Structure 1
Amino acid sequence: MNTAATETRSVIVERDIPHAPEKIWRALTQPHLIAEWLMKNDFAAVEGHDFKLTADWGSVDCRVLSIEPNRSLSYTWAAYGLESIVTWTLTPKGAGTHLRMEQSGFKPDQQQAFQGAQYGWQTFFGNLEQVLARAD
C-alpha cells in the first residue's frame, strides 16, 4: 500500500511569550485583535462557527472545530486547494505562556503552500507579539 499519497506535513511554530494565557487567548479570539496580527475576520469563539479571514491576496474559509478557553483553539483553514487545520495550544510557563501553533494537512504536492505557511506564520507570530506588547 502506498501511503505517500496520503501523508501530510505540518508547520509548527512555538514561542515562549511573557504574557498570561488569558491575554494571549484574547488576541487569538477577539476579532478586532485578530485583525491586527493575522487578517480581517468575522471570527466568533463558538464551536461550529464558520468564519472568513480576508487579506489583499484573497481569503481563507475557516470553521471553529474546538475551543478550550485559555488552553486550546482549533479551526479549519481552507484556501487555494489547501485543506488544513490550525491548532493553538497555550501552556502556562513561569510568568508567561508557551504558545504552540500547528497547521496540519499539507500534501506532498503543496510545497509552495507549505513554504508560504512557514514564512507566513513567522510573520504572524511577530505581529502577535507586537499586539500583545501594547494590548492590556
Structure 2
Amino acid sequence: MNQQVGETLSVVVEREFAFPLEKLWRALTQPHLIEEWLMKNDFKPAVGHRFNLRGDWGGVLDCEVLTIEPNKSLSYTWNFANDDAAYNLTSVVTFTLTATGTGTHLRMEQSGFRADQPKAFGGAKFGWQKFLENLDQLLARND
C-alpha cells in the first residue's frame, strides 16, 4: 500500500488479561497504579485534564485526557518534544476494554506516527509490549 502524504501509522497491541474489567480499568486510571506499570504521572480521570508522564530516561510526555467511558475506553494525547525532529511526536493513545469469558481483552492503539519516524514507531512497538507485560504483572500481584 502506498502511503499518502500526511498519512500516519499506528501501533496496535491486543492482549488478554485473566482479570475482571473493573480491575484493569483501575490500573489504567489510578495514578499510583499507572506509575507501577507505565510511568510517574499526575493523571486524573477527567476529560480535558492535562498531565505529564515522566519516563525513567528523563523524558516528559505532555498529555491531555480526550475521552473516558468507564470500564470501556480511555484516550489521551501522548506528545513528546525533542531536539531531534525524528523523535518529536504528536499522538493519541486509546485503550479499549472488552469483557471476555475468562477476563478482559485490552486493545491499545497509539496513532499519529509519521512515516519519517521509524525509530519512534519501533520504540513504541517494543515499549507497549513491555508496558502491558508490566500491567499483567501488576494485576497478578494485586489479586
Question: Does structure 1 retain, via aligned residues, the 8 Å contact 2:65–2:77?
Answer: yes
User: Aligned equivalents of 2:11 and 2:126: distance in 1?
Assistant: 10
Amino acid at match of 2:129: Q
Tell me, which stretches of 5 or more residues in structure 2 are unaligned?
A: 82-87
What's the TM-score, normalizing by structure 2?
0.91
| Regions of 4+ moved over 3 Å | none
User: Aligned equivalents of 1:93 and 1:42: distance in 2?
Assistant: 31
User: Aligned equivalents of 2:55 and 2:90: distance in 1?
Assistant: 18
Amino acid at match of 1:10: S
Amino acid at match of 2:89: L
Match of 2:84 in 1: none
What's the TM-score, normalizing by structure 1?
0.96
Match of 1:114 in 2: 121
Question: Does structure 1 retain, via aligned residues, the 8 Å contact 2:39–2:56?
Answer: no
Tell me, which stretches of 5 or more residues in structure 1 are unaligned?
A: none
Aligned length in residues = 135
Task: Calculate percent identity across the aligned residue pairs.
Answer: 63
Question: Does structure 1 retain, via aligned residues, the 8 Å contact 2:51–2:63?
Answer: yes
Amino acid at match of 2:47: E
1:61 maps onto 2:62 in alignment: yes
Match of 1:82 in 2: 89
User: Aligned equivalents of 1:71 and 1:45: distance in 2?
Assistant: 13
Match of 1:21 in 2: 21
**Alignment root-mean-square deviation, CA:** 1.3
Q: Deviations over 1:6-51 (max 9, x none)?
A: 1101000001111111000000000000000000000000000000
Match of 2:73 in 1: 72
